[in-house]
Structure formats: C-alpha cells, structure tokens
Structure 1
Amino acid sequence: MLLRKFMSLVGIGSAKIDLILEKETYTPGEQITGYFLLKGGLIDQQLKRIDCDLVKVENGTEHIVDSTSILTSRSLESEASNKIPFSFILPTSLQISTEDISYRFKTRLTFTEGVESLDQDIIQIV
C-alpha cells in the first residue's frame, strides 16, 4: 500500500480528468455543455480543485481568454469514475478559428497531495 501511495504522489497511477464536450465546433456567444470525467487511480485521493481555462493560441502564443474553477473537498476512490457537469458561455468577441488562431480548453485537476492531472480539448470557433 505504501508503494502505491508513493507512485500516486509522483503521478504514476494517480487519478485523471477528462473534459467531455458535446461537440467540437461552436460560435461566439454559444453555451458549451459537457462534463468532467474523473477516473480514480491506484489509491483514494482527496481532490482540491478543478481549473479550466479557455486558451487562444495565436501564431504560437497562448493567451487565457477566460477561466472557471470548482473548489471541492471531495474524495475520489481508487478506480472509481465520477462525472461533474460543465457549462461555459463563450465570449461574443471571439475571433473565428484560422490557421493562425486556435482555441482549446486546458483543464487541471489538483489534489491535496500528489501531482496535477492535465487535459486539453481543442475547439473550433466558426
């Protein structure tokens, strides 16, 4: 058990997060819905927060457009799966996606102990 805990603290077999969206293409001002899928790792872990940033990548440079955070003290049991609803309204001022401009959601799951779990989901603005 001690080895499993140590492995989770360094990121091996720790819990994971995945943002599941209903689709990949959106328009400025549209509401995005989906859910965060939390998958437990080798041991029970205490969650601290979920941060999700909408990031605009323009000519290789990243800019955070907007963010949302969920503070939690929930415990995620080993090998369990949980869903947390996600809703986000895109700003009306977004430029459309081009070869030089793209958008993505960067999601971080932070634990009271251990490394963060990261996820990225590319979306297209038309």
Structure 2
Amino acid sequence: MFKKLLASVGIGAAKVDTQLDDAVLMPGQPFSATIVIQGGDVDQQISGLTLTLMTEVKTEVDDHTTYQHMPLESWSLSDTMTIEAGATYELPFHATLHPETPLTGIGGRRNRSRVWLQTGLEVDMAIDPSDKDMLLVEPVPAMQTLLDAMEQSGYRLQKVDVERGHLNGQGFSSVSGAYQELEFVPSGLSLFGVKEVEISFVPQGQQMHALIEVDRSFRGDSYRSLSWDASTPVATLMEQLKRAIG
C-alpha cells in the first residue's frame, strides 16, 4: 500500500521516454520513434498514452507580452493497459510532422522558437508521468531557397519567434493557430527606406507560400504574398522578392 501511495505522487512510478529515429526533422516530414515505458515499483493502470507536438507562442494579454505553451497536433496511441512493476514496454510510433511546425534549426541564438514532443501516460489517481523531447527542425528545400534569396539580396536574419494567430495571404491561409515570424534587416543602407522585412511561411502541399510584411521609414507597413515551390531557382525568387520588397 505504501508503494502505491508513493507511486500516486510520482515516486517509484512508471516512466516514459520517446526516442526519435532521426535527430533532425523538417516540417511535413514523416518520422518514426520508439516510446519506451518503464514500469515502476508497483503495477499501474493507464487509461491512455498521448504524444503531443508543442510549441511556445508569443501573445499579447492586457497590453503585456506573454509566452504560452500551445499544442500543434496530438496523437492518441493507446487505450487502457496495465504497466507491470519493473517491466519494459517498447511501442513503435510513426507520424508526420505538422507542415506548419516552426523552424528551430536556423538563426542560432537569434531564434527564440521552441518545439518539442510531449509524451504523457494517463494514470488514474496519480501524477501523470511525462517526457519532453526538444526537436531540431530544419527548413524544407523551398524554405531554404527563400532564406538563400534573402541573404543574397542583402538581408540578414535578425530575430525569429512564434506568435499566436492565423495568417491570410493571396490564395492561402494558415491552419495551426500559430505562425513563425522571421525578421530580416538590410545588411547595409537601403535605397527604398526598408527598415525590416518580416516573413512567415505557409506550406500547402507541394506549394510554398509566404506572407511578407515590409516596414519602411517613410511609408509604414505593407503586406505582400509570395508563392513558389522546391524547383524555383534562387535567382528567380530573388527577382520576386525584389518586386515584393522594392
């Protein structure tokens, strides 16, 4: 009985660990993992096993900026089962990363984005054992083409973060409820008064879209939409960016 009481507050209880097959992922990429459950000191009944793709979003509350955890996608993996004391269970898992998953593998310290997989065992009358695995998310080829085009056009990446909300561009809309904003600034003097350019990706199948916000010293903010795919050359995208930004 004493061990059961300890397990109910997390001491000597079952533990869960999600082990990804690939260390680096990309938005919209299929991935696989093994979920390892290690039984504790006593048998425990679980009512479910859930894997959730999480991010941290910036939002405004009463004129103050706050950061909140937000689920992007969730998968239910198991129904009721008994985790026997001392036993080890390995469950294979296969899924596809949400196409609007924020990028964490660009920008170095300038990137404030955080993405992780949170695995939880739903244990009756006990603290739910959970596991948190941070993800390294790199750009898909179409995103990388735009990043290269911006750099070769004379812009450097200054800041990256994730905000709560939806984006609507010309012929496209985001769906996850969060969007990543990549803030670029001119590397030198801008002839068109451009102070900064904020870009957000919105993938749709094989097509890549972006909503571009241009902040100018003398004309305020303006918005442009851009669409391309993985086969678009950097030089072509540079021309499109020149028309969009000026």
TM-score by length of 2: 0.48
Query: Once the two structures are superposed, what CA deviation does each residue of 1:22-43 show, in whole Å capped at 9, x if it has no partner?
Result: 1221111111101110000001
Match of 2:28 in 1: 29
Whole-Å separation in 1 of the counterparts to 2:134 and 2:12: 25
The one of the two structures with greater contact order (alpha-carbon pairs below 8 A, sep at least 6) is: 1
Contact 1:46 1:113 in 2 (8 A): no
Query: Once the two structures are superposed, what CA deviation does each residue of 1:28-84 show, in whole Å capped at 9, x if it has no partner?
Result: 111110111000000111111111110122454322111111242211110110011
Partner of residue 63 from structure 1, selected from 67, 70, 77: 70
Write the letter of the residue equivalent to 1:27: M
Change (3 A) 1:10 1:95: closer
Q: How does 1:1-126 map to 2 (within 5 A)?
A: 2-59=1-58, 60-97=67-104, 98=106, 99-126=111-138
Give the CA deviation at 1:113. 3.3
User: Percent identical across equivalent pairs?
Assistant: 22
Write the letter of the residue equivalent to 1:65: L
Aligned to 2:72, the other structure's residue is in SS state strand
Give the CA deviation at 1:19. 0.7
Contact 1:8 1:114 in 2 (8 A): yes
Whole-Å separation in 1 of the counterparts to 2:30 and 2:91: 17
Higher helix share: 2
Q: Cα RMSD between the aligned structures? A: 1.5
Whole-Å separation in 2 of the counterparts to 1:46 and 1:116: 11
Match of 2:220 in 1: none
Q: Which runs of 4+ in 1 moved over 3 A?
A: 58-61
- Extract unaligned runs of 5+ from structure 1: none
Whole-Å separation in 2 of the counterparts to 1:9 and 1:45: 9
Aligned length: 125
Larger Rg: 2
Whole-Å separation in 1 of the counterparts to 2:45 and 2:7: 12
Give the CA deviation at 1:94. 2.7
TM-score by length of 1: 0.89
Query: Once the two structures are superposed, what CA deviation does each residue of 1:73-116 show, in whole Å capped at 9, x if it has no partner?
Result: 21111011001111120122333225121210111111133221
